Every structure is written in structure tokens, then in C-alpha cells.
A and B are shown apart, each in its own frame.
Chain A
Amino acid sequence: MLYRGIQTRSLFTTATRLSTTGGTYQVFDRSIKLKQRERAATNEESGMVEYIRDEVARRTIERLAFLKNNFTSTMDFGCNSGNLAKQLCEVNPDDDFRWKDDKALVKSKIQKLYMVDSSESMLYKNQGGKADHEMNIERIVTDEEQYSHPKLTQPDQFDLIVSNLSLHWVNDLPSVFSKLYNSLKPNSCFVGSIFGGDTLFELRTSLQLAEQERNGGISPRVSPFVGSADVGSLMQKAGFQMLTIDVEEIVVDYPDVFALMTDLQLMGESNSNLSTPPKLSKDMLLALQPIYYALHADPKTGHLPATFRFVFMIGWKPGQNFPEPAKRGSGTVKLGDALEQS
């Protein structure tokens, strides 16, 4: 009896550990991330640091304007403060006609927009704004990684899923991708972006040098980011087809390294690695500025550049009449002949 009791208990603990970690390697502390984002969203100054998310939302709208399928029921997964809706509804007299057309087209196609985010304060930050008057918006607070809200778990319910700059804090990307795939209607697509590769490499290298010179060792202070090839294989594993993946880069100039780090904090993008590095000491902070300056500063202006690299991805969930590659050996024209003609 005793033996059996012990055995069941040990099985139970293994099972719970597996279910909480999902069997994946945990890199980020999601609970700390949530606190950072809540805190950032309640800071009045956080409205001034939306420049990257707004720009990526604009680029997403440009991409969406090329798609011919319907967007009747759209989900913005990990929407932050609702940058996509904000950009769709914002009117600027300087906008050129093509951009205006893109916006109007995409906005008219979206009949219902579900905005999903784990941080309630961030999600409701711009509530009652222009977007809420002009669009049919429903907000859902749920952890992106758990994806357990009853409104999200039904299969085949969205015509389009957008996810901008949110997935880089998700530990279990394969499972989130397959859940998103499951929520999509057949013949519809997922359009997303994620921070990738060399994002913030200037800050990463400067921190490493400063820490080595001051303390003799390095610790993880800038998150690991996915590469564009990894994104492709992850999406393929989840079932997405006809993938389009491309990489874009924005370099933002900052007057000094403190401005960069303050902005990151206001965005809610501070470090939240599970293996918490030792506190950033005053000496390290002092050392960081000259090193960043010596290594990366623009020689003319003296500004410090920070690179943000995005991996944009589009993936389709196949349905009926979905275009498929022809069978191997079914071609009737020789490739050589076709090439000679052209």
C-alpha cells in the first residue's frame, strides 16, 4: 500500500510539472512579463513610446491590403494597446492616397475585431477612443501562451488572425502556432510579426562588454530572439502552408543609452528571463554609455542607434480548392525548353 501511495504521488508530480511547463524549455517568466506590461500601461508616458508598434501596424495594414480573402471576423492576437485598430482609424492630413486607400479597404473588410492580450491595462488603455467608435471591437483578456479563453478555443472561427510584436515573449511557440492554426477558418490566413535575430544587438554587445570589463563575466540581459528560418519551420510544423516570410529592419536613434532603456521599460519590454541576471549595478550603467557610444554611435550626429529586426510571416490554412503544387512528374513541358524561349 505504502509503496503504491508513493508511486502515485511521484507520478502526479511529474504530470503536473509536465502540464505546467508544457514539456517545453522555459526561457521567459510570463508572470513577471505581465507585471511589467501592466506597470508600463498605467504609466502616462507610455503613450509616447508606441512608435515601433505603430510602424509595424502600418506595415501590416499595407500587407493586408494585398489580400483578397474576407476579414469578416478578425483577431488581433497579442494586440498590445490596440495599435492595429488605432492605425486603421487614425487620419493624418499628410497621408498619401495609396495609404489612405489601403486603410479604408482593410477597415471596411473587418466587421468584427477581437483584440486579445494578457495585460488588461494595456488592452483597455485606448478604450473609448476613435477605434471603438468606428469599429466593432471586442476585448478579451487571456494569457497568450495558455490560449484558454472559451471564446478562443472553438475551431475554425476567424477569417484572419493578426499578431504583431507579442510572440517574442512566448515560451512554447509551436503550441501557440498550432492553436492559432486551429482557430482559423479553412482558406484563411495568419499575418504576424515577431522580433527576430539581431534585435537590439548593439545593446546586447555593449552590455556584455560592460559586464565583462566591470565584473568579469556575462549574464543574459537581452532576450534570445528567433531566426527567420526557425519561424518558417515552426509554422510549417503547425500546419500552415504557402508561407511568406521576410525580414525588415528599423533602426531608431536615441540620444543616450538611458533613453533607450527607459523607452523599452515604458513599452513593457524589459528583460524577463527566467534565469534572472544579477541587478544592473550603477557601475555597469555608468560603463554602458561610453561603450555603446564607442562601438556603435553615429560618427556625425553622435546618436546611438538601436536596431529592431522583425520577421514578418504569412501562413495559410488550406481548405477546399486550396491551390496545391502539381504532382511530381505531371509536367508536360520541359523546363529547358521554357527557359530557352524566354
Chain B
Amino acid sequence: MPATSLHAKKPTRQVTKLMNATMQCSQQSVLYGQCVLKNYENISKDACMAEFMNYKQCVQKHLGKRW
């Protein structure tokens, strides 16, 4: 298939890198998701701040990039 050779040539997209990094942090990701699910009827800014920061730090570690 020409599509696969296309993939091989092209540099990996930023979003793919980000996706791969989030997959490495499934545990933190699930905790954050559950926190939002628990509060979804009355969500406010930073309601799940702690869970998100844990998750974000993990993704940053695997991505090798901070923002």
C-alpha cells in the first residue's frame, strides 16, 4: 500500500507524539477522568487540579518536553 510508505517518509506529527505520551500515563489519565466524571454536574475551574497536574507531569516526562 502506498499509504504505509507515506507514513514512513513523513515526520511524526506533534499530535501523534502527544497521543503516545498520554498512552504511557493511562493510570493518571483514568484518575483524572474519574474525577471529572464525579463532578460533571457541577464542574468548576480547577475542580480536578491535583489529578490533572499528576497526569500532565507524567505526559511531560514521557514527551521530554515541558510547557
Question: How many residues of chain A have a CB within 8 Å of chain B?
Answer: 25
Measured in the bound complex, the distance between the Cα atoms of B15 and A295 in whole Å is 22
Task: Indicate whether A213 sits within 8 Å of B36 (C-beta atoms), given known contacts A283-B56, A294-B30.
Answer: yes
| Number of interchain pairs (Cβ within 8 Å) | 77
Interface of A is mostly: helix
Are the C-beta atoms of B37 and A294 separated by less than 8 Å? yes
Task: Indicate whether A285 sits within 8 Å of B43 (C-beta atoms), given known contacts A45-B3, A48-B3, A291-B36.
Answer: no
Considering the complex, which residues of chain A in the window 287-309 have a beta carbon less than 8 Å from any beta carbon of chain B?
287, 289-291, 293-295
Chain A contacts for B6, CB-based, 8 A: 44-45
In the complex, whether B50 has a CB less than 8 A from a CB of chain A is: no
What per-residue 1/0 map shows which CB atoms of B56-67 lie under 8 Å from chain A?
Answer: 100100000001
Are the C-beta atoms of B33 and A291 separated by less than 8 Å? yes
Interface of B is mostly: helix
Assign chain B's interface to a size class: 20 to 34
Chain B contacts for A48, CB-based, 8 A: 3
Measured in the bound complex, the distance between the Cα atoms of B51 and A214 in whole Å is 12
Identify which of B2, B16, B22, B45 contacts A213 (C-beta below 8 A). Answer: B45
Are the C-beta atoms of A258 and B52 separated by less than 8 Å? no
In the complex, whether A282 has a CB less than 8 A from a CB of chain B is: yes
User: How far does the Cβ of A156 sit from chain B's closest Cβ, in whole Å?
Assistant: 45
Are the C-beta atoms of A295 and B52 separated by less than 8 Å? no
- Chain A contact residues, CB within 8 Å of chain B: 44-45, 48, 209-210, 212-216, 256, 258, 261-262, 282-283, 285-287, 289-291, 293-295
What are 6 A-B contacts defined by CB distance under 8 Å? Answer: A44-B3, A213-B46, A258-B18, A286-B59, A293-B33, A294-B34
